[in-house]
Structure 1
Amino acid sequence: MDKSTFEERKTIAGPMHSPLRHDSAHKHVSGTADYIDDMPEPAGTLHGALGMTDRAHAEIVAMDLSEVEATDGVVCVLTAKDMPHSNDISPSHLDDEPVLADGLVQFHGQPAFAVIAESRDIARRAARKAKITYRDLPHFTDITDALENGAELVTKPLTLQRGDAEAELELSPRRLTGRMRIGGQEHFYLESHVALAIPGEDDEITVWSSTQHPSEVQHMVGHVLGVPSNAVTVQVRRMGGGFGGKETQGNQFAVLAAVAAKKLNRAVKFRPDRDEDMTATGKRHDFLVDYEVGFDDEGRIHAVKANYAARCGYSSDLSGPVTDRALFHADNSYFYPHVKLTSQPLKTHTVSNTAYRGFGGPQGMIGGERIIEEIAYALGKDPLDIRKVNFYGEKGSGRDLTPYHQQVQDNIIHRIVSELEASADYQARRKAIIDFNTTSPVIRKGIALTPVKFGISFTMTAFNQAGALVHVYQDGSIHLNHGGTEMGQGLYTKVAQVLADSFQVDITNVKITATTTGKVPNTSATAASSGSDLNGMAAYDAARQIKERLTDFAAERWQTERENISFVPNHVKIGEELVPFPDFIRQAYFARIQLSATGFYKTPKIHWDRNTGRGTPFYYFAYGAAVSEVSIDTLTGEYMVDRVDVLHDVGKSLNPAIDIGQVEGGFVQGMGWLTTEELWWDDKGRLRTHAPSTYKIPLASDRPKIFNVKLAEWAENAEMTIGRSKAVGEPPFMLPISVLEALSMAVASVADYRECPRLDTPATPERVLMAVERLRKAKA
C-alpha cells in the first residue's frame, strides 16, 4: 500500500479495516512511552531483589540471613514464613508453586527469600550475602534423563485418538519410526518483569504489573495476602513485550511487592536484572517426539501414532494446556485416517516452563511436519507433493475430521498453498536449486513450502469471554477500557478502531486507557491470539447499547422512525438533517440519556471434553503458508535465509498495517526459535544461556534478505467475528517451519536427497554441520 493511500485512509471516520498506525508507535521510537519503571515513584518507594538458590534439587538445612539483614539500607528480608495467608501461586491451583522455596529447592536459581531495601542496587548486593546450607538430592534437567529416571508427571496427560492406529500401522504398505528433539525458547521481552505495589487503607492495595493477565495477578495477590479480590486493583498500561511469558510468571514479583508493601506500609517495586529474569522465569517447553507413521507409495498417510514428551519444570504452571495444544496441532493441515496422539508432561528440576506464543501448537505442528518430511525422503519425492496429497478435504468429504473430532469447516489451505506456490515461483526455483547443488561443492541450497492451520480459542472454555467499559462524554469524546492488555501487538488500536467505526467518529476521538481490574472484572489473559476477537466484540456490544439508547432518544426528540436515524462520519443523520456528533451527544446528555455501557462477549459454538478427547475447542482456524530459500556452507554449517515469501490469512483484516507487522515479527521470532535460540543447562542444573551474551536471538542481519509478506485479501472469516477478521498473534509464528525444512533439503543434497537429515531444533550451525558430516559418511 503506497503512502498516499495510507494517508488518505487513515483520516476516514469509522476506520475499521484501515491501516492506521499503532497508537503508541511514535512513543516507542521516541522513548516517550511510559512503562512501569518510567512511572514517577511514590515518596519512600523501596526496592526488592530475589534471593536465589544455587542447587538444582536440595533440602535447605540452614539459611543464615544475618549479613543480608545487617546490610546498610536493607529494610527487611522476606521468607516463606512471611507470606500472610498462603505461600502458593500455582495458576493450576495444584499447590505446587511456592512464592519462596520453603525447605526444598527444586531448580537452580529458585528464590528462597526476598530483600527489600532503599535501592535496587542495595537489595541485589545484599541478596548475595546469604549463607545457605544444603543437602543435595538427585536431579535431572533433561527430558531423556527424566524418562530414564521415571520422572513423575506434573499434570494429567492427554490422549487424542480416532480409528485404530495400531492395527492400521500393521496393515500399511510402508511404515517408519523416528524421534525428534524440539528445543525451548526464552521470551526475551525487552522489558523484564516488573511490579510496583502501593498500599492503601485497610486491606486495599494497588499493583502496577507488567502482566498479560491482570485478573490472575489480582487473584494471586489476594490469595497470598488473605484478602478478597475487591481489595486488590491491578493496572497495566503497556508491556515491553510479553509473548506468553507474562501470563503467569509475573505473579511472583507482584505478590512479593504486595506483601512487602502491606508489611511496611510503603510502596515497593520489583524489577529483576535480565540474568535473574531468565534464570527464575519459565520458557517455551522443549519436547521429545517419538512418532510412527504408516503410508502408501503415493505418500498418503494411513495411520499416525506419536508421543509428545515435554520438559515442564518443577511445577504444573500451564503445562497441561500447553501439552494439550501440542496434540491439537500435531495434524497441522493434514488428515490422519487413523491416529493416536499422547502427551507426557514430565517433571524436571528446572524452572517451570510456561506459555509462549503458540502455546505448544508450534511444537505439535513441527512434529507433524517432520512426519511429512520423512515420507517424502523415503519415497524420493518433493515434500510439497506429500503435503498436498494429505491435506484436509472440503467439508463433508470424509477427510475433514481432526484427531479431537472437530470438523474442519473453513478449509482454505488448498487455495493458500496454490496461490503461494505460483506467486513465489516455487517449482522453477526448486528445479534451479537442485541443478545448482549438483555443481556447487561447498555452498548448498534448499527450498521448502510449508502450511499452517492454527486453531483459535482458549481450550479452557471459560476463558473465552471478555468485557469492556465505554463512556461517551458530553463533548462527544469517548473513553474505552477493556480487559485486554497491550504488549506492543496493537490490540488497543484495533479495539479503538472497532469503537470509532461503531460510532462513525475519527479514531482520534477515542481515548484508550490502562487496563485495570477496577473497571473490567474477571478478565481473561491476553493470549491464545484471542485479544481482538474477544475484546473487540465486547467493545462493540457496549457501543451497540449506547447507540440503541441514542437512537430511541433521537426518534422521540425529532419525532421520526428509528429506521430514519443513522450514524454517519462524525454526524448523526436524522431524516435529512445532519447533526454533528458532539452536538447530538450534548443534547442526549441534557435529556438524561445514559451514555455509558459495559459490553460483554463470549465465544459461541465451542465445547471441549478433555476426558473423552472430543469436542469443538476452536471457533475457527487461521491459515497461512511460507516458502523459504536458504544457503548453507557445508564446511562450517553456517547458513543464510536468502528469500521468504508468505501468504497469510487474517480474514478481513482489522488493520492491515498492524497485521503485516505481526506476520513479519512472528516469522522472525519463530525463525529464531528454530535456528539460533538454544537453551543449555550444565550438569549441575545451571542455566548457562541466561543473558544476551550467551543466548542468540535473531538480529537485523539474520532477517531474510528478500522478505515478501502478503495478506490473503480475499479471505473473510466464515464465523461472526468482529469485522469478519481472524486472529494474527500466534499463527504466523509457525510459518518459519519452512526455514527448517529448507535447511534440511540443503543438508540432504550432500547424500543426493536419499535420506531425511532429521535436524533437531534449534538447527544451529553446529547441528547443520554435524548433519552434513553424518550424511556424507552414510553416502560413502
Structure 2
Amino acid sequence: MSVGQALPHESAALHVTGHALYTDDLVHRTHHVLHAHPVCSPHAHARVARIDTGPALEVEGVVRVLTADDVPGVNDSGTKHDEPLFPDIVMFVGHAVAWVLGETLEAARLGAEAVEVDYEPLPAIVALTEAIEAESFQGNQPVVARGDVDQGLTGATHVFTGVTEMAGQEHFYLETHASLALVDEAGQVFVQCSTQHPTETQEIVAHVLGLHSHHVTVQCLRMGGGFGGKEMQPHGFAAVAALGATLTGRPVRLRLSRTHDLTMTGKRHGFHASWRVGFDDDGCLQALEATLTSDGGWSLDLSEPVLARALCHVDNAYWIPHVRLHGRIARTHKTSQTAFRGFGGPQGMLVIEDILGRCAPLLGIDPVALRSRNFYVDGQATPYGQVVRHPERIARAWQQVLDTGRIAARQAEIAEFNAAHEHTKRGLAVTPVKFGISFNFTSFNQAGALVHVYKDGSVLINHGGTEMGQGLHTKMLQVAATTLGVPLTKVRLAPTRTDKVPNTSATAASSSSDLNGGAVKDACEQILARLRAYADGRDVAWDELVREAYLARVQLWAAGFYRTEGIHWDPAAMQGHPFKYFAYGVAAAEVEVDGFTGAHHTRRVDIVHDVGDSLSPLVDLGQIEGGFVQGMGWLTLEDLRWDESDGPGRGRLLTQSASTYKLPSLSELPDELNVALLEHATEDGVVHGSKAVGEPPLMLAFSVREALREAVGAFGRPGASVELASPATPEAVFWAIERGRG
C-alpha cells in the first residue's frame, strides 16, 4: 500500500539535478519565439493621455507593440471585470499600458523604453490608514455576528480596546510569472503557463481573444512555487502572450524579471483591525467586537473571499460567546493584493492572538494558561454557526507540546536566565491553530481526474490540480497505486491541462489533495469495479487481467469526479457550514533578544500538527516545516515598504529586490526544530483519513511572535502590556523594548 509511506517527492531527483522543466524552459524547445516586455507607468495614479508606439517600431528587432486597440474580445483580465488589461487610467506604479514584442528580450526592452506615453497625474492613496480616513472602499462589507456584543461587554469584568496592524507579504516564489503561447494550424490557442488555476487562465485568455473556452488549451507542467500568487495573477500575462501569438502567428514568451514580478503583481493583504474585547474574572473571553480592513490595492482580485475567510478565523481555537466582526476592503493605488498561503486566515487569527498576548499581563494570567482555558470544547460552534468537530485534538496537541517541549521547566529556566542577564532576554510562547478546510465558495469544492490503464498494465493519471513543489502529484500517484492495488512504479502522471480535465478549481485552499485525491480514487474504483466484474472471482495477476479485459472489450479508462459533501454557506448572512473539517496544530517557540539592537533569533520550536492519517508523511513534514518558516518570515522579517511621500516617487515599491526585502534564510531557522504528527487522528469522509497540510502550519509561527512579546516584556516592568508591530523586525522589537523601559 503506497498511501502512508514516507516517499520522496516524485520530482525530487529532477529538482536537485536541474533536469525539471518549467514553463520558461520550454522556450528553448520552441522555434521563432517572440519576447514580451511591459511599458510600465511611473505614476501610482494617472490618466493615460497619449501613447505613441511609432518610436518603438523603429527599434531593431521590435516586431509589434500591443495596446488596447489590438484586443478583439474583452479588455479585462479579472473575473470581476475591474482589471483592464490595457488601462486608460493607471492605478499603481508599474501598471503596464502596453507590451512590446521583440525578436529578443533586449530588443523588446529597448522598444518599451522607446514607447512615448503622456500621463496626467491624479491623487494617489498609498497607505491603508489613508484609505480608511478617505473612506476609499470597494466590494462587499460583510459582518459575522453571534449573541449580543453590547450586553457581553457590559457584563464583562475586564474590557480592553486596541488596534492591531499587520503588513502584507511578497510571495517571492523561485520562478517568476511565465507564459508561452502559440497558435496551431487549426487555430487552437495553446498556452503553457505557470498557473495555479489553469481553467480560469483558459477562461480569461478566451474572453480577451473573443473566443470560446474550447478554442484555448492551458497546460501547467509544474511551478517553481506559487503560494497563492499564481492563483489569479497569471491570467493577464497569459492573455498578453496569447494575444501576441494570435496577432503575429508566432509563439510569444512572457516571463517577468524579478523586479517586474515584485512591482507588478499582488501580495498578501495587509490588515488594520480595531477591537474591543471583554473577559470575566477567570480570563474567559466574553465578547469581541472588531472591524477588519484589508488593503485590497487597486482592484478586487480575490479580496472578497480573503476577507470572508479572515472574518471566519478571528476566533481561531477559542470560544467567544458574543461576537460582532465587520469587514471592509480598502482601495489603494498599489498592486492588486491577492491570495497568499492561508488566504486571510493568518490575518484573522493574528487579531485574536495579538489580543490575548496584549491582555494576558493586564489580566495577571500567564499567556499559556489564558489561551488554554479559552479553547473550544465539544458541542460549541463558531461565530458563523459551524460546530467544531474534534476540539479535543487541540487540547491533546497542546498537552503533547507542553510535555515533549518541557514547557514548565523551560519557563523556569528562562526566568532564571532573564534575571541574570540585563541586556539579553528570552521568551517562550505556545499558540494553537484551528484552520477551516474547503473553499469559501462552495462550488469550487469539486474536482475531476482522468485515469488510463494501458494494455500492458501501466497506468497514466491526469487530474485538475497543479504541482508547485508541494507534493500534490506525489500524493496522487500514491492514491492511484493504492486504490488499484499496483506498485507505485506502475503509475505515471501527466501534466495538468484543460483539454484533459475541464472546469477545475484552483490548486488552493489546502484542498487539492482532498479534491483531486477523491477524483483520482473515484476513477480508479470505476476501472477496478469493471476488472473485478470481468475476473468474476478468479485470482489473476494484474498485467494478465488487464490484457484479458482489453481483449474482452472492457473499458480500461475512467473519468473520476469528486464533490465535497456536507458543506453549505450563505455569503450574505455569513452563516453556514463552509468547511469540511478543521486542521489543528500547536507550536511552542523560544527566542532570545538583544536589548541593544532588537536583533533576535529562535532557539527552539516544538510542533505537533494534525494531518489526520498522512497520505505521504515525508511530504507533510516538509509542508509543516516550510509553512512554519514562511509564517515566521511574514511575522518577523518581511517588511514591504511603499513610498508614501508626496514626491514624484509616491506609490513606488521600495522593497523591490532581494537586497531590500528580507526573506528567511538558514540563519533565521530555529536552532532546534521538532515536528511531530498528531497520532490517532483519522478524519472521516476524506481520502484515506487524511487532512490538508498546505496552509495551516504557516500560522504556527504565531508562537515566535508571541515569544518575542514575552522577551520584550522581560526588559520592562512586570505586568505591562507589550504592543509589538507586525512584522516584528529587529527595529520594531528595539522600539518595543524602549517603550517598555520608558
Please tell me the TM-score bracket, short chain as reference. Answer: over 0.9
Question: The residue matched to 1:551 in structure 2 has which SS?
Answer: helix
* Aligned AA (1:515): T
Residue type of the alignment partner of 1:406: Q
Counterpart check, 1:691 vs 2:657: yes
Between 425-434 and 126-135, report the one with greater CA deviation: 126-135
What is the alpha-carbon distance in structure 2 between the residues aligned to residue 372 and residue 203 of structure 1? 60
User: What's 2:594 paired with?
Assistant: 633
Distance in 1 of aligned mates of 2:428 and 2:285: 23
SS of alignment partner, residue 723 of structure 1 = helix
Cα separation, partners in 2 of 1:663 and 1:753, compared to 1, 3 Å:
farther
Deviation at 1:122, TM superposition (A): 1.6
CA distance in 2, matches of 1:603, 1:57: 43
Q: Deviations over 1:71-108 (max 9, x none)?
A: 110000011221111111112x2x2101122x211111
Residues 564-583 of structure 1: matches in 2 within 5 Å? 565=537, 574=538, 577=539, 579-583=540-544
**What is the distance in 2 between the residues matched to 1:142 and 1:167?**
35
Aligned match of 2:85: 99
- Paired residue total: 735
Distance of 2:563 and 2:104 partners within structure 1: 45
1:404 maps to amino acid: Y
- The residue type equivalent to 2:720 in the other structure is E
Matched, 1:402 2:382: yes
Find the counterpart in structure 2 of residue 54 from structure 1: 42
Q: Name which of structure 1's ranges 469-478 and 746-755 shifts more when overlaid on structure 2.
A: 746-755
Aligned counterpart in structure 1 of residue 134 of structure 2, from 149, 152, 157: 149
Residues 395-441 of structure 1 show CA distances to partners (whole Å, capped at 9, x for unaligned) of 2xxxx110101111221101110111111011111121122112211
> 1:493 Cα shift?
0.7
Amino acid at match of 1:690: Q
Determine the C-alpha separation between the residues in 2 that align with 1:272 and 1:125: 15
Match of 1:445 in 2: 426
What is aligned with 2:440? 459
SS of 2:346's equivalent in the other structure is: helix
Residue 61 (structure 2) aligns with:
73
Aligned residue number for residue 519 of structure 2: 538
1:45 maps onto 2:33 in alignment: yes
Residue 390 of structure 1 aligns to a residue in which SS?
Answer: coil
Write the deviation string for residues 603-661 of structure 1: whole angstroms up to 9, x where unpaired.
00000001111100000000000000000001001001000000000000000000000
2:633 aligned with 1:672: yes
- SS where residue 584 of structure 1 aligns? helix
Aligned pairs for 1:517-532 within 5 A: 517-532=498-513
Moved over 6 A (4+): none
Q: Which amino acid aligns with 1:261?
A: A
Alpha-carbon distance between aligned partners in 2 of 1:207 and 1:709, rounded to the nearest angstrom: 40
Alpha carbons 1:203, 1:227 under 8 Å: kept:
no
Structure 2: distance between partners of 1:62 and 1:756? 55
The answer to whether the Cα contact below 8 Å between 1:183 and 1:286 also exists between their aligned partners in 2 is yes
Describe how 1:315-714 pairs up with structure 2 within 5 A.
315-395=299-379, 400-411=380-391, 412-555=393-536, 565=537, 574=538, 577=539, 579-682=540-643, 683=645, 684-714=650-680
Instruction: Give 1:713 shift.
Output: 2.4
Aligned with 1:660: secondary structure? helix
Question: 1:312-350 CA deviation, whole Å, 9 max, x = no partner?
Answer: 001000000001111111000001100001111110000
**Which residue of structure 2 aligns with residue 251 of structure 1?**
235
Report the Cα offset of residue 308 of structure 1.
0.8
Whole-angstrom CA distance in 1 between matches of 2:719 and 2:515: 48
| Corresponding residue to 1:715 among 678, 681, 684 | 681
The SS at the match of 2:373 is helix
TM-score with structure 1 length normalisation? 0.93
Amino acid at match of 2:546: I
CA contact (8 A) 1:154 1:314 kept: no
C-alpha contact 1:334 1:391 (8 A) present in aligned 2: yes
Equivalent residue number for residue 560 of structure 1: none
Amino acid in the other structure paired with 1:110: H
Q: How far off is 1:203 after superposition?
A: 4.0
Range with greater deviation from structure 2 (162-171 or 591-600) = 162-171
Report the secondary structure of 2:273's partner residue: strand
1:745 to 700, 705, 710: 710
- Say whether the 8 Å CA contact 1:375–1:386 is kept in structure 2: no
Aligned residues of 1:60 and 1:133 also touching (Cα < 8 A)? yes
Secondary structure of 2:377's counterpart equals coil
Q: Are the equivalent residues in 2 in contact too, given 1:410–1:620 (CA < 8 A)?
A: no
SS in structure 2 at match of 1:736: helix
Tell me the amino acid that sits aligned with residue 382 of structure 2: T
Which of 6, 10, 13 in structure 2 is aligned with 1:26?
A: 13
Aligned to 1:730: 695
State the AA in 2 paired with 1:460: F
Deviations 1:150-200 (A, max 9, x none): 21x221011000001122112211100011111100000000000000112
| DSSP-derived class of the 2:626 partner | helix
Q: Do 1:744 and 1:756's aligned partners in 2 also have CA atoms closer than 8 Å?
A: no
Contact persistence 1:357–1:730 (CA under 8 A): yes
Deviations 1:336-395 (A, max 9, x none): 100001111110000000000000000000111111112211112211111111110112
Q: Which residue of 2 aligns with 1:6?
A: none
Q: Is the 8 A contact 1:307 1:342 kept in 2?
A: yes
After TM superposition, the structure 1 stretch with the greater mean CA deviation from structure 2, 488-497 or 424-433, is: 424-433
Q: Distance in 2 between matches of 1:108 and 1:248?
A: 20
2:357–2:709 CA contact under 8 A, matched in 1: no
Whichever residue aligns with residue 229 of structure 2, its letter is G
| RMSD of aligned alpha carbons | 1.0
- Provide the rounded CA distance (Å) in 1 between the counterparts of 2:255 and 2:459: 34
Q: Distance in 2 between matches of 1:693 and 1:132?
A: 30
Unaligned runs of 5+ in 1: 1-13, 556-564, 566-573
Aligned to 2:138, the other structure's residue is in SS state: coil
**TM-superposed deviation, 1:580:** 2.2
Find the aligned partners of 1:755 and 1:123 in 2 and give their Cα distance: 59
Q: Deviation of residue 124 (structure 1)?
A: 1.9
Residue identity matched to 1:310:
S
User: Which residue does the alignment assign to 1:775?
Assistant: 740
Could you say which residue in structure 2 is the equivalent of 1:561? none
CA–CA distance in 2 between the matches of 1:122 and 1:713? 58
Describe the SS at the equivalent of 1:409: coil
1:470 partner SS? strand
| Amino acid across the alignment from 2:232 | T
- CA displacement at 1:202 relative to structure 2: 4.8
**Normalised TM-score (structure 2):** 0.98
Identity score, percent: 47
* Alpha-carbon distance between aligned partners in 1 of 2:598 and 2:53, rounded to the nearest angstrom: 49
Structure 2 residues not aligned, in runs of 5+: none
Q: Secondary structure at the match of 2:114?
A: coil
* Mapped partners of 2:110, 2:5: distance in 1: 51
CA distance in 1, matches of 2:718, 2:333: 40
Q: Measure, in 2, the Cα distance between the counterparts of 1:587 and 1:618.
A: 44
SS for the counterpart of 2:109 is: helix
Question: Does structure 1 residue 756 correspond to structure 2 residue 721?
Answer: yes
Q: Note if 1:241 corresponds to 2:225.
A: yes
Give the corresponding residue for 1:293: 277
How far apart are residue 126 of structure 1 and its match?
2.0
Q: For 2:590, what is the secondary structure of its paired residue? A: strand
Q: Which residue of 1 aligns with 2:150?
A: 166
Mapped contact 2:607–2:675 kept (Cα < 8 A): yes
Residues 522, 561 of structure 2: 8 Å contact kept: yes
The yes-or-no answer on 1:313 pairing with 2:297 is yes
